[in-house]
Structure 1
Amino acid sequence: MPRLTRLRLATGTATAVVAAVVLAASPAAADGPTVSQPHIVARFDLATGQSPENITVEPDGSADLTFAPARQIAHVTPDGHMTIRATLPDEPNADTPNLKAATVFGIVRAQDGTLYVNYATGTDKTGIWRIAPGGGAPRQIAQLPATALPNGLALDERHGVLYAADSVQGVVWRVPQAGGTPTVWARDAALTPVPVTGAGYGANGVKVHDGAVWVSNSDRGTLLRIPVRGNGSAGPVETRATGLDHVDDFTFASPYGDTVFAALIGDSEVAEVHPDGTHTVVLTPADGLANPTSLAVHDGTLYVDSAAYFTQQSPNLLLADLSCGLGN
């Protein structure tokens, strides 16, 4: 979520939850992942719109980031060298829900190097766009309603589908990877923003993991799991964690368990969410975080990008080492 409406989060907006009981944070299990040696590898320029919103990692450990207000896709090497791979087309008549400005959000990478990104404009440019391996002009492959705010994006390459979390409509869209007509895959109150008192952002991050689609809800501070039925339809929404104030995107510690790392944008923290729903803060502003928005895990390394939407200081990409018990 870029800055204009997110400022409400920084002023102490109350966070509602969909479960009756909020699970308190607890110490990490002894065999859980250990986060150590956090260090910033790249700093970005707020003045040119370089607020990193979402991230995907290449096989060589380099990262592809979306710069939300600049409408750019940046490529950052492990040693911090940055190049711009693509820029989404300008929309002079942008009327993006919550934001008004044209904004690029989630990003995923296919095995062949193709990148897919969510673009929200409040016009017919809203939808999913594809960037060919190596860069080039982005091409729209699916058009979402102008009233949609496609935020997080996930790719299930095995079944050839993309999932986009719509923060305003409170739904999860499903789109063929090859492009085509979007369909509402999941609709539930647990995916919606909190009326009146919320910041206007419901479903935010989205990941495909172990036969299910997982979604974070920023307004409600929740982590949700939606089983994928045998016919591809959505099963009932399950609440797996609550009390994650102002949660943005998230990632799994490994492909083999349900431990999650979640970006808590309002407090500039990263939380480790345990399989039992409790959570522990593992990174803070003291480590260099400045309103983190998304994360990724690759080859024993945790990647965290900070957009600095509220702090207005030091947007960056931070890496940290992971070790021990990543199968949990």
Structure 2
Amino acid sequence: MSTSRLRRTTLLLVVLGALVASGLVPATAAEREVWHTRVFANVPKPGFPAYVYVHPNGRVYAATYTNPAGDAMRSRVFEWTASGTLLRSWTVPDQDLTAARGVQVATSDARGRLVLLEKSRSRVLTLNVTTGTFQVQATIPDLPGGGAAIPNYAAWGPDGLYVTDYGQDVIWRIPSAGGTPQVWLRSTKLAGLQFGTTGIVYEPARRSFLVSQQTTTDPLDALRGHLYRVPVLADGEPGAVGTVWTSEPMALPDGFGVSRAGNVYIALLGTNQLVKLGPDGEELDRFPATPLTGGNGSPVPFDNPSNATFLGTRVLVANQSAVFGSAAHHVILDVEVGEQGAPELIPARSTLR
């Protein structure tokens, strides 16, 4: 190799190394061991981050929940670069400050607006990140004989936005072009003993939804959680709810991500772990091996992890610390898993209004 070529190669490696260190170019899976964990970003007040959403624009978004001990702060939506640099934030308007508050950045629509689920008034909102404009798209109603509606997670599917309801045994469907929420699925399997229905991801190849459930009201379940698969029939109606996987008691499965290979990574809010399942529910691995401690090798342990969202070969995990309320633990964690995530479905007609 010539001296000039050697110098160019050395300079290229130095520059590439600096970019990787800065996070502008992600390290490859080969450079990080599987389950290697680091802090992606701190989450400012009011803290208590929920789901982390990776937008098609390459930026990362998360919003906040209320302090269980009580405060008068409205929820905020934060925006980070793909390397974890905080860029902007927006304060959510018109929340009921006398009620429990929280906002989940659930997905985005075909216009690029964030789709938000707002807890205090059970609303579905959009946020235009260019103009900072919030718009109410729908309000999830309380059903007769049920609890209070709590929109929790959402995913686009066949001709609509499908929203899980943590407080009622329901998955709602809102038409892609906007409109009144309709009950798409109501099942006793979605009824939780205080802890209800959480994550939802659409599987286009199977034409089905994966849905996580923290507990059920079945006494034989003994506070176990589940991952369900719900097929979408030819007429758009739900098929039979099938159990893919059952957790141990009080593991409290929350949000999850699906890899291109179909493996499912679920955050276990109750035991402070991540679990890796095969496409049909076989448990392949979990991290850390010991429950409850949350020790992950990073400066911040898992403390009520609430999701696992793919960014390259890593999953981003919102550390909610809902029980202990530790502000130092209100971070987004970056966990290497060694495989790419499945692309998110955002239909071209998913415009709401």
Give TM-score, length-normalised by structure 2.
0.72
Q: Give yes or no for contact 2:124–2:138 (8 Å, CA) kept in 1.
A: yes
Q: For 1:63, which of 35, 60, 64 is the aligned residue?
A: 60
Structure 1 position 318 matched with structure 2 position 333: yes
| Residues 1-328 of structure 1 mapped to structure 2, 5 A cutoff | 35-45=34-44, 48-59=45-56, 61-69=58-66, 70-92=74-96, 94=98, 100-121=99-120, 125-146=121-142, 147-156=148-157, 159-194=158-193, 200-210=194-204, 211-219=207-215, 220-243=224-247, 245-254=251-260, 256-257=261-262, 259-279=263-283, 280-283=285-288, 284-287=294-297, 288-313=301-326, 314-323=329-338
1:183-219 per-residue CA deviation (whole Å, 9 max, x = no partner) reads 010111111113xxxxx12211111113111111112
1:138 counterpart SS class: strand
- Residues 186 and 109 of structure 1: CA distance in aligned 2, closer, same or farther (over 3 Å): same
- Residues 57 and 326 of structure 1: CA distance in aligned 2, closer, same or farther (over 3 Å): closer
Q: Which has the higher contact order (CA 8 A, sep 6+)?
A: 1
- Residues 192 and 276 of structure 1: CA distance in aligned 2, closer, same or farther (over 3 Å): same
C-alpha displacement at 1:276, in angstroms? 4.0
Q: Give yes or no for contact 2:213–2:225 (8 Å, CA) kept in 1.
A: yes
For 1:135 and 1:192, how far apart are their aligned partners in 2?
39
- Residues 228 and 311 of structure 1: CA distance in aligned 2, closer, same or farther (over 3 Å): same
Instruction: Tell which deviates more after alignment, 55-64 or 245-254.
Output: 55-64
AA aligned to 1:82 is: L
Q: Give yes or no for contact 2:153–2:199 (8 Å, CA) kept in 1.
A: yes
Q: Give yes or no for contact 1:85–1:134 (8 Å, CA) kept in 2.
A: no
- Residues 224 and 81 of structure 1: CA distance in aligned 2, closer, same or farther (over 3 Å): same
- Residues 325 and 51 of structure 1: CA distance in aligned 2, closer, same or farther (over 3 Å): closer
More strand by share: 1
Instruction: Tell which deviates more after alignment, 279-288 or 226-235.
Output: 279-288
2:133 counterpart SS class: coil
Extract unaligned runs of 5+ from structure 1. Answer: 1-33, 95-99, 195-199
Q: Give yes or no for contact 2:161–2:175 (8 Å, CA) kept in 1.
A: yes
For 1:165 and 1:106, how far apart are their aligned partners in 2?
13
AA aligned to 1:294 is: N
For 2:65 and 2:339, how far apart are their aligned partners in 1?
34
User: Aligned Cα RMSD in Å?
Assistant: 2.3
C-alpha displacement at 1:128, in angstroms? 0.8
For 2:106 and 2:131, how far apart are their aligned partners in 1?
14
Give TM-score, length-normalised by structure 1.
0.77
Q: Give yes or no for contact 1:86–1:137 (8 Å, CA) kept in 2.
A: no
- Residues 181 and 297 of structure 1: CA distance in aligned 2, closer, same or farther (over 3 Å): same
More helix by share: 2
Identity %: 25
AA aligned to 1:301 is: R
AA aligned to 2:86 is: M
1:237-274 per-residue CA deviation (whole Å, 9 max, x = no partner) reads 011000152111111122x52x1100111221111122
For 1:311 and 1:143, how far apart are their aligned partners in 2?
31
C-alpha displacement at 1:166, in angstroms? 0.5
- Residues 93 and 282 of structure 1: CA distance in aligned 2, closer, same or farther (over 3 Å): closer
Extract unaligned runs of 5+ from structure 2. Answer: 1-32, 67-73, 143-147, 216-223, 289-293, 343-353
AA aligned to 2:268 is: L
For 2:307 and 2:296, how far apart are their aligned partners in 1?
18
- Structure 1 residue runs of 4 or more that deviate by more than 4 Å after TM superposition: 324-327
For 2:131 and 2:107, how far apart are their aligned partners in 1?
14
Instruction: Tell which deviates more after alignment, 177-186 or 283-292.
Output: 283-292
How many aligned positions are there?
A: 275
1:190 counterpart SS class: helix
- Residues 312 and 102 of structure 1: CA distance in aligned 2, closer, same or farther (over 3 Å): closer
